[in-house]
Amino acid sequence: MDIFRMMKTGEGIEQLEEHLLDLDSEFRFKCRRCGKCCIHQETIILNARDIYNIAKKKGMTMQQVIESYTEVYIGSGSRLPVVHLLSNGPKGACPLLEDGRCSVHDCKPTVCALYPMGRVVVGEKFGEPVDPDKLRVKYILNEYSCGSAKRVNTVRSWLAKFGIPENDEFYILWNKVLISLTLAIVKLEEEKVSKTVLDMLWSAIYQALFLDYDITQDFMPQFQVAAKKLCSLSETIIKAQPPASPSEEEAD
């Protein structure tokens, strides 16, 4: 499911809609604490707040967290730098698993805390390209075969259990920034800008999204400043006229 493509085009969003949950939707799940989801897990993407929280917990810088536990690549759908936890060791365990326990349990990455649920942002209306200024958060129940069905949860109770805000201001703004940047990068790629320019841009985006934070200060005000700069950058790129092709220049 290519969420970023759906965001851009609106295609396939109806299938997604059928699986979306609201805050009062119920699902049956009780974790057995077997730890299997912390092994051979290649899908845990970290956002900047996750990295900030882990850095604080571990007494590291955000750069050290990224270098020690993750790998960074350019997402094929988002066309943006993606940071994901890198399983290591002979058993392919999560690098944050220590003595069979999550070493950052009280601030574990949002993806881990939400499991077996996931979150997506959707636009105001289904079937239309998403407006980054009108995002809504929806939840989706991933396919899972672990745990037991002994407990009935609501999405709301699950979020409360892990201290995840129902109206997560960060998550909305994070996605607004990502969607805006994706649209800008896709435009540049369609205009066939050079790899050097794209690399410089990716490097600046990576720095602003994931590294330029002081972990002795609150996260959100710092992210709001970064978000403003990055949205303004995207807007400038999206509004800019593409450079004239050589044949057009000759015609002039």
User: Quick one: which of 48, 94, 173, 188 contacts ligand SF4 (CB under 6 A)?
Assistant: 94
Decide: 215 and 61 in contact? Cβ < 8 Å. yes
If binding is defined by CB under 6 A, does position 114 make contact with ligand SF4? no
If binding is defined by CB under 6 A, does position 215 make contact with ligand SF4? no
User: Quick one: which of 21, 83, 97, 107 contacts ligand SF4 (CB under 6 A)?
Assistant: 97
Structure tokens at 124: 């105001």
User: Quick one: which of 6, 48, 96, 130 contacts ligand SF4 (CB under 6 A)?
Assistant: 96
User: Quick one: which of 16, 23, 37, 72 contacts ligand SF4 (CB under 6 A)?
Assistant: 37
- C-alpha 195/C-alpha 202 separation (Å) is 10
If binding is defined by CB under 6 A, does position 146 make contact with ligand SF4? yes
Among the listed ranges 32-40, 191-199, 226-234, 239-247, the one in contact with ligand SF4 (CB under 6 A) is 32-40
- C-alpha 107/C-alpha 216 separation (Å) is 16
| Total site size for ligand SF4, rule CB under 6 A | 21
If binding is defined by CB under 6 A, does position 117 make contact with ligand SF4? no
For the window 42-81, what string marks contact with ligand SF4 as x by the rule CB under 6 A? --x-------------------------------------
If binding is defined by CB under 6 A, does position 38 make contact with ligand SF4? yes
Sign of the C-alpha dihedral, residues 77, 82, 88, 91?
Answer: negative
Site residues (vs ligand SF4, CB under 6 A)? 31-38, 41, 44, 94, 96-97, 102, 104, 108-109, 112, 115, 146-147
